[in-house]
Structures are given as structure tokens and as C-alpha cells.
Amino acid sequence: MNNLESKKRLSQFLESFHLLSTEELAIFLRAFKYQQTKRNQPITSCVDSKPRLYFVADGLLRHFSTMPNTTQQDSTIDRGFVLPSTFCLSAASFQPAKVTIIHSETIKRTTLLYLDRCLLDQLFVQIPVLSLLFRQLMELYFFEMEHLNLILHMGNCQMRYEYYCLHFAAHIKQVPDKYIAQFLNISPSELSRIRSRMAKGKSFKANASPSFVD
């Protein structure tokens, strides 16, 4: 995806909020820079935490953390995924941060648009309604994090997968099975067995509580 196509996708996403005027939208779009990445390319890490706001125009990112291990190589814990037409939000996007505990990397070749935080600070002054736009973005982000947190605390593997399918159907379609299994902390073989049981109609959803299906 080229720069023009990426900006068009970002424009369509921003227009869906119905907050920016035509002039404000044009100013905001011009501030973004274009970046084409390869597969498994780090975007943010504890070694190089760039104070930037990223928009995924095309491709796929994953968030993960590393856990220190004294006896063997540090383990990796997946935190979630960023699909196309979505902002990749982090604390470093909005405030000074020396390091970040959540890393981001591409799962496949990905097209990004990014905005340096110092410029974003200037745009907040120039376009006051941007603060409302990003408040709404953060509300959506935290709502997603609440669901992901609930998933990771479910003891039953099949319930974790069914809940993930229910609330993150787009992820199931676009994220490779390897990463879905890692995120849900189940083996690829167990994921296959769960899908087989669900295909036979053996599902937890029929007996789920309202909080499970909301």
C-alpha cells in the first residue's frame, strides 16, 4: 500500500468519528509520515521506545511482553493484536516515557503512518477537537483491554477461545493460528481440538451467563 492509499484509509477512519472539519482533517493528515515494514520488524521496544503515534494502514501488529527467567531464555507473553485501519496506542504516544514494558512488532509486511509525539502535542493546541477524538479512541482501547483481561483469566481453554471468537471475530479471520494459540496460552493441537468440538455443536455459549455474551 502506497502513501496516498494509506492516507486515504486514515482519512476514512477519522471521518467516521464526525469530529474534524475538512480543513482540520487535511492538517492532521499532512502531519503523518509513511513507513513500510517487513515481517517480524520491531516497532516499539524497551530498548528503543519511540515517542510516536502509529496508525496501521495495512498489515498486522502484535503486542507482547518478555518475562525474565533465571534458568532459561526469557519467555514471551502475547498481549493482543492491531489490525488494519487501527491506531497502535501506547503510553509513549501521549506522554514522556523512557521505556515501555509492552513491545510491538509486525506479524507480516505492514504499512504504517506515524506521527511524532512532539508534533502531536502541537496539533492538540492547533486543533482542540483532537483531544476529544483521542479520548474516544482511548475509551475504545480500554474497553478492548477489559475484554482481553477477562479472557486471560478464564480457566477453561475452550471458554477463552469462544469468548475471543465472540468479541474479536475480526482477529480470528486475520491473525495466524500460531499467535492466537500463544495469546490464549494453549497449544496449537488443543486449539484444533477446541475447534473440532465447536464444529460438533459442543459449545459453552448456550449456557453462558449474560456477562459472557454481552
- The whole-number pLDDT of residue 210 equals 42
Residues 6+ apart with CB under 8 A from 9: 1, 57, 58, 84, 85
The grid coordinates of residue 177 equal 493460528
CB burial of residue 4 (10 Å; 0-12, 13-18, 19+): exposed
- Backbone φ and ψ of 14, nearest 5°: -65, -35
- Angle subtended at Cα 151 by Cα 70 and Cα 99, rounded to the nearest 5 degrees: 45
Task: Output the pLDDT for position 196.
Answer: 94
Question: Which of the residue ranges 7-16, 158-167, 203-212 has the most confident prediction, judged by mean pLDDT?
Answer: 7-16
* Assigned C-alpha cell, 200: 460438533
CB–CB of 61/107 below 8 Å? yes
Rounded alpha-carbon distances, angstroms, from residue 162 to 152, 165, 188, 200: 12, 5, 15, 14
With a pLDDT cut of 70, the percent of the chain lying above it is 83
Query: Which positions ≥6 away from 53 have C-beta within 8 Å?
Result: 87, 88, 89, 93, 94, 114, 115, 117, 120
- Report pLDDT digits (tens) over 66-116: 776 656 666 777 788 999 999 987 655 555 555 556 788 999 999 999 998
Per-residue pLDDT tens over the stretch 35-55: 999 999 988 765 555 678 899
Do residues 89 and 76 touch, judged by C-beta distance below 8 A? no
**pLDDT given for residue 44 in this prediction:** 74
CA distance 34 to 52: 13
Indicate the pairing of strand 33-37 with strand 61-67: unpaired
